Chains A and B, each alone.
Chain A
Amino acid sequence: MRKSNLHFCGYNDTINKIMKRGMDMLSKELCEKVLEVAASTGADYAEIYANRTVHHTIHMIASKVDAVKDSVIAGVGIRVFKGLRSVNTSTVDTSEAGLIRCAQQAAEALGQGTAQIDIHLTPMTIRDIHPVRQIPAQMANAEKVAVLKEAYFAAKEHDSAITQVTGTLVDVDHNILVANSEGVYAQDRQIRTRMAISAVAEMGGETQTGSHAPGSRKGMEMFEEIQPASIGIHAAKQAVVMAGAGYCPAGVMPVAIDNGFGGVIFHEACGHSLESSSVAFGRSQFADKLGQQIASSKVTAIDDGTIPNAWGSINIDDEGTPGRRNVLIENGVLKGYMIDKMGGRRMGMAATGNCRRQEYSFAPTSRMTNTYIAAGTDSREDIISSMEYGLYAKQMGGGSVNPVTGQFNFAVTEGYMVRNGKICEPVRGASLVGKGSDVLMDIDMVSSDLAMGQGMCGSSSGSIPTNVGQPMIRVSSITVGGR
């Protein structure tokens, strides 16, 4: 990659391409016509969302490229609102007749009535804050395979205990268009690249796994900053360490959760419960708590869709609202929620640039972008040395939450026991469970080393890229599942 002779696409070129591509997707005139049909039975809001997305995946196992997947996902979703009711229809038929049919279906489902709103679209120029240099779609398979192999074999050859490695390189070229009755007519091109390496190690009959999967809203230039080999080595090291680990003891103890993907604890324990899809529908423990202390004063948490080139970043959300930086919790006090237009109607609040959907066939809703606990003032060393007996959770797996009760769980994929302020032996099979409102109050130390990790977040509007993040934190007491 570092010696690629590909066309380098500058900032202005990127804007031009976005605009041109957008115009190719659906013209302003066609969108106006379709929105008029959609709103013809009395809707007070009508919206068209179109996406044309090219997914490209290269997969390796047993040291060979065994699958290459190439697919084009393209279609249109139409939504209409009337008061607190919403109707969503979608189609793969993007001909004018197909779109009109889809709009009629939405209008009929909304009910009987006459048009209440006028449709006038104004093309919106988006400032692309996530410029991409090496567009993956313009690169040959062979060049991408070379990058994947660098990571793959770094893992395979890291240690003789490594028995199997799988590797995936995914690039997504996601073009969206949003047109709505508020006059928005906007397009965005979201290019994302991600590599995932998973390694299996076997020692003395025990099998364990390690994985690493960095991604970004960039093209192949992401591998200039992250050496592919480092991804493989990260995965392999973890597998080897864990293969030599015993089971984590069960109990209630203090836990130091490392920076980066450790932020999944906030994502699960709190983030989902601050989405308007929970708050506005009586399914959040944090409803009606604005201005109240919901976390320890050490905790400031932010959802920021505007971090340049970050995995969860957007220029506009999937309702056309520009991405924003939203402070959710400041020094423990609840400051805001993540709100889409319909959630905003129920809550009497404005949309916050958090409306997202996987693609046209999913009804959009409030989702996270890049969500993190802000840097604090403690040091990592102080956190570890403060613990007489506890767990150091170096690497987290995923987790889940029930926003109604706030009960969450997540997996520790690489953990170590801490005794007398020292990191000791590795332990496997640990998970952390608790209640969001409790764990937020129990975060009693926050270090200064903020970092992010990448994930795909699954919810009612599909699977979307989100960043989680935090500095190292200490939770004074939490249930550790083990044996």
Chain B
Amino acid sequence: MEYLAFKDLVIAKAQEMGLAEYEIYYQSNSGIMANAFGHEIDQFSANSDGGVCFRCIVKGKMGYASTEELSPEQAASIVEKAMDNASVLEAEEPVFLVSGGQAYTPIQRENPSIPLAQDLVQRVLQVQGMLYATDPAVTEGSITRGIGLQGRIAICNSKGLDLDREYTTNAIMVGAVVTDGTDKANDYQLEIGDIAQIDAQALTRKATGIALSKLGGEPAPTGVYPVVFDPEAMSDLLDTFSGIFDGEAAQKGLSKLKGQEGNTIASDVVTVIDDPFHPENPMSMSFDAEGSPTYRKNVVEKGVLKTLLHNLQSANMAGVATTGNAYKGKYDSPVGINPFTMHIAPGEWTEEQLLEKAGNGVYIRSLSGLHAGANAITGDFSLQSEGYMIENGQKTTHVNGFTVAGNFYDLLKNITAVANNLTIPSPTGITTYGSPSVLVENLSVAGK
């Protein structure tokens, strides 16, 4: 059955059960994907999914239940299950639903339409042809993938809230595999936007160029160095450790930033911004996962922690207003906290100037295994890295198969310069990360 009819059944059941406070959260996604391998489309897919999360307050506890089956039986079942689940909860923090009638920043962008299947297929084949034409070293395993996604989030509750947002994302991704006859290397590049307008030449050249530059190489010599992280590597680090700014995590002892608002937690060249309306992210959101209005904020300003990120519950515990950062990973997730487009603000230097300042050190272009080699609670990381040696202020030998290790809390204080090349490498979701290149003193490198 359709969502609106299902929603009416859920509301009727909630009223029948005597519930005064409840919320219905709906999310649906659909998309098409075409993938070229060799000179053919080897995979095409068209997917749709989505479901409904019902949550309700029973005796001061918030119970949840979700379903993808929109049927009369399930409409009744999720209400009953949510009430049952509420009955075993013990956490004593007060729970809240957002009231309707608040002011929201309007979204200024128009949703592009999803490409037609045949247009997507043709464009993907064309870009794949361009990828193979960039260099004779491009070899089997190289792919081009075109993606068109659309989604919808709708929240309504018993307090008069009724919000709806639809969004679309179209993108082309190229994965270049290159060989010099003995060695192989690869690189992926993604470009968001109208698939017909994307500069495919630049995209394929970039992927091929980076893949070629990754051929060969050797581990960096073990030692302690100044390190320049390129925007993508630094964005990945910020992504991995963004949980340190989570207000609830801080309250529960899972972040060291508890009670640090107003204190210096980073070097004075560091400003960290959370922006729900960043122009490079097609998934701007004027409301968060609880339905609170969102806004752009400095989380760290010139090294000083201005605020942690909050939803209604953690804000109440901290005695502040919500920052509009309530988040659900998927419609059926409990409400947590996450940033929108979180990024380090650009600084005054060029990347070349950062290299000069580093003098002799290591330039890190990519990091791997961030889900494993980094501990978001302690801040420790030890990560597989790839990049270049920096000698006399210049990138020289290509290096890979080594690790860079440190602690993110220390790293924030040891950033001595920030470049002006802010990049949001992969703006493919409500939450994404960005950074310019940064220079960090004293990181440990383990290699040969």
Residues of A whose CB lies within 8 Å of any CB of B are: 52, 55, 58-59, 61-62, 64-75, 77, 84-94, 105-106, 108-110, 141-142, 145, 163-164, 200, 207-209, 247-248, 250-252, 281-283, 285, 360-361, 363, 397-400, 402, 404-405, 407-411, 428-431, 433-435, 479-483
Contacts and interface: CB of A to CB of B under 8 A. Distances in A.
Interface stretch (B349-357, B375-383, B414-422): B375-383
B92 A92 contact: no
15 contacts: A86-B44, A110-B44, A141-B88, A142-B88, A163-B253, A164-B252, A281-B140, A281-B141, A397-B373, A400-B368, A410-B369, A411-B369, A431-B383, A481-B405, A482-B446
A481 B406 CA distance: 10
B207 interface: no
Contact of A251 (B66, B81, B222): B222
B65 interface: yes
Contacts of A433: 384, 401-403
Given A68-B64, A200-B253, 4 more contacts: A207-B256, A207-B377, A410-B369, A479-B448
B64 to A, nearest CB: 6
Contacts of A72: 51, 66-69, 74
Contacts of B402: 433, 479, 481
B13 to A, nearest CB: 16
A90 to B, nearest CB: 4
Given A250-B405, A481-B446, A200 B368 contact: no
B435 to A, nearest CB: 21
Contacts of A69: 64, 66, 85, 332-334
A141 B85 contact: yes
Find the residue from B66, B222, B383 having the highest chain A CB count within 10 A. B222
A407 B140 contact: no
A209 B377 contact: yes
Contact of A200 (B84, B91, B377): B377
B46 A109 contact: yes
B40 interface: yes
Contacts of B140: 281-282
Contacts of A248: 382
Given A400-B368, A409-B373, A90 B378 contact: no
Interface centre among B42, B89, B373, B401 (most CB of A within 10 A): B373
B48 A91 contact: yes
B69 A400 contact: no
Interface in B68-97: 68-70, 74, 78, 81-82, 84-93
B359 interface: no
A68 B90 contact: no
Contacts of B219: 479
Contact of A70 (B44, B81, B90, B254): B81
Contact of A88 (B44, B65, B87, B378): B44
A342 to B, nearest CB: 8
B401 A431 contact: no
Contacts of B82: 70
B116 to A, nearest CB: 11
A363 B91 contact: no
* Interface bin, chain B: 35 or more
Nearest to A398: B372
Nearest to A86: B43
The 7 closest A-B pairs by CB, nearest first: A481-B403, A483-B444, A250-B446, A282-B140, A282-B141, A409-B384, A398-B372
B141 A89 contact: no
A400 B37 CA distance: 24
A261 to B, nearest CB: 12
A85 B41 contact: yes
B314 interface: no
Contact of A281 (B37, B88, B380, B445): B37
B49 to A, nearest CB: 4
A250 B382 CA distance: 10
B369 A398 contact: yes
Contacts of A479: 219, 401-403, 446-448
B369 A482 contact: no
Nearest to B141: A282
Nearest to A252: B448
A411 B253 contact: no
B382 A481 contact: yes
Interface in B92-141: 92-93, 117, 139-141
A350 B83 CA distance: 50
A402 to B, nearest CB: 7
B368 A402 contact: yes
Interface in B380-422: 380-384, 400-406
B45 A431 contact: no
B320 to A, nearest CB: 20
B81 A402 contact: no
B373 A70 contact: no
Contacts of B88: 58, 65, 68, 141-142, 145
Given A142-B88, A250-B405, A402-B186, A430 B377 contact: no
Contacts of B252: 61-62, 164
A299 B50 CA distance: 45
Contact of B139 (A200, A207, A282, A411): A282
B84 A141 contact: yes
Nearest to B67: A72
Nearest to B448: A252
A109 B44 CA distance: 7
B206 interface: no
B89 A68 contact: yes
B318 interface: no
Contacts of B68: 71-75, 92
B326 to A, nearest CB: 14
A373 to B, nearest CB: 19
A138 to B, nearest CB: 14
Contacts of B65: 70-71
Interface string B1-42: 000000000000000000000000000000000000100111
B128 to A, nearest CB: 14
Given A67-B64, A92-B51, A250-B403, A480 B446 contact: yes
Contact of A399 (B93, B369, B377): B369
Contacts of B69: 52, 72, 74, 92, 94
B91 A66 contact: yes
B49 A361 contact: yes
Contacts of A74: 67-69
A66 B108 CA distance: 38
Interface in B218-262: 219, 222, 224, 252-254, 256
Contacts of A58: 88
Nearest to B224: A483
Contacts of A360: 49
B177 interface: yes
A244 B384 CA distance: 25
